[in-house]
Amino acid sequence: MNLFSIIGEALRALRQNRLRTGLTMLGMIIGVAAVVLMLSIGQGARTKINETIAAMGSNLFLVVPGATSSGGFSFGSGSVRTLTINDSHAIAELTSIKATAPVTTGPVQLNYGAKNWSTIITGTTPDYFEVGNWKMESGAAFTDSDLRSAARVVVLGAVTAKNLFNEEDPIGKTIRISNRPFVVVGILMVKGQSLTGRDQDDTVIIPITTSERQITGSQFPGSIRYMLVQAKSSDDMDIAEIEITQLLRQRHRIPKGKDNDFTVRNLTAIADVATDAAKVMSIVLGAIASVSLLVGGIGIMNIMLVSVTERTREIGIRMAIGANQRAILTQFLLEAMMICLMGGVIGLMLGIGGAWLVSRFADMLIVITLGMVGLAFLFSSAVGIFFGFYPAKKAASLKPVDALRYE
């Protein structure tokens, strides 16, 4: 028998038992759909994290006021203002450092005409835009001259601008921040959420001198909430962390053996951990979904074994009229593969549909790649061959005389 005849026999056998074929296929459909859906969710999470990391900037440290003690009491990170603008300037002079950006923050109320918006204001220096990898959608960032003169100029995030101006061009317009007039000089490009889930596009950025003197104020003049520090290269990260720590200990006159009153956090290392966690999540999700494929494959093997038993006389007759073992083996193997491939196609469509529903109603980034589609078909074929081989081998090994005698 040629291959086309064998394929025809396999299709005929599947059509004769439509209900059994459909139920057998169901396990494969569920398995492939689960794999595609889980992998797309995992890939979406990895893509989102990678985009967030890229938006953060490269080779970054976050320096925050750290644990210290006063009068026998311990204070957590950020509870005591131990960092100053001058600390930031001193760190910027280190040979391993490219730039620094001191930051103060505080809640504010924004007004433009009849519209109001509450958000967190950021007071910083022009280097903040380079260090934090902020790009301008329109206008420009404030300048060193604005910083020195404590000018009332402001750069708005995309979400903040949208809520205040809707479709109107904000550049050159005057808004009120805590009832003081500020001129909008720039609008930032969309950046999305941070690794902590904060909306980075809902932001207001002004010169740190303006913030300290006119908006947030401070009971500790010159103190800052935190600072961003950018090393010159990834190779300088380790030495930069050591230099920052030594310099701040020296400037803060911390005796040997005493704890630091600041904390230096390597954001690149944190980002790497987040990336690794996303990879692990993708693997776990894929492994969980693969269990469905395994169960579907076992179901196919069981049904094919039952089919061999029920069709023993048919196998005997075919062998008696000239079909060899190879033809019988090929037919039953093709039946198993057809079930798996048809189930794979339907499962793939269901998985893509499920991924679309998740992205639409759960507001999650879902990524489906050609690799996932290829993997679905590869798995379907592999399951068909692996779990279909034993029943096919059993059918091919039947002796014609015994098969014809089977009742």
Judged against a pLDDT cut of 70, whether residue 30 lies above it is answered with yes
The per-residue pLDDT for 149 is 93
Most confident of 163-177, 207-221, 270-284, 299-313: 163-177
50: Cα separation from own chain's centroid: 6
246-250, Cβ contacts within 8 angstroms, sequence gap of 24 or more? 247/90, 247/91, 247/94, 248/63, 248/83, 248/87, 248/91
Neighbours of 98 (CB within 10 A): 18
The per-residue pLDDT for 188 is 94
The tens digit of pLDDT for each residue in 342-358 reads: 888 888 889 888 888 88
Q: Where are the alpha helices (DSSP H) in 98-143?
A: 127-131
Average pLDDT of the chain, as a whole number: 81
Mean pLDDT of 249-272: 84
Q: What is the DSSP string of 283-352?
A: HHHHHHHHHHHHHHHHHHHHHHHHHHHHTHHHHHHHHHTT--HHHHHHHHHHHHHHHHHHHHHHHHHHHH
The per-residue pLDDT for 78 is 47
The percent of residues in the chain predicted with pLDDT above 70, rounded, is 87
Mean pLDDT of 70-77: 42
The per-residue pLDDT for 81 is 67
Q: Where are the alpha helices (DSSP H) in 57-102?
A: 85-92
Q: What is the distance between the alpha carbons of residues 140 and 185, in angstroms, rounded to a whole number?
A: 6
The tens digit of pLDDT for each residue in 156-191 reads: 999 999 999 988 999 999 999 988 999 999 999 988
Judged against a pLDDT cut of 60, whether residue 80 lies above it is answered with no
Q: What is the distance between the alpha carbons of residues 212 and 80, in angstroms, rounded to a whole number?
A: 17
Q: What is the distance between the alpha carbons of residues 153 and 118, in angstroms, rounded to a whole number?
A: 18
Most confident of 44-48, 200-204, 402-406: 200-204
Contact (CB, 8 A) for 392 and 9: no
Confidence at 399, pLDDT banded by 50, 70, 90: confident
Confidence at 76, pLDDT banded by 50, 70, 90: very low
For strand 180-188 and strand 153-156, is the pairing parallel, antiparallel, or unpaired?
A: parallel
Contact (CB, 8 A) for 344 and 375: no
Most confident of 10-19, 29-38, 324-333: 29-38
Q: Which of 175-189, 328-342, 392-406 has the lowest mean pLDDT?
A: 392-406
Instruction: Round the CA-based radius of gyration of the chain to a whole number and report it.
Output: 33
The per-residue pLDDT for 57 is 63
If phi > 0 it is left, if psi is from -120 to 50 it is alpha, else beta; for residue 166 that is left
The per-residue pLDDT for 374 is 79
Confidence at 340, pLDDT banded by 50, 70, 90: confident
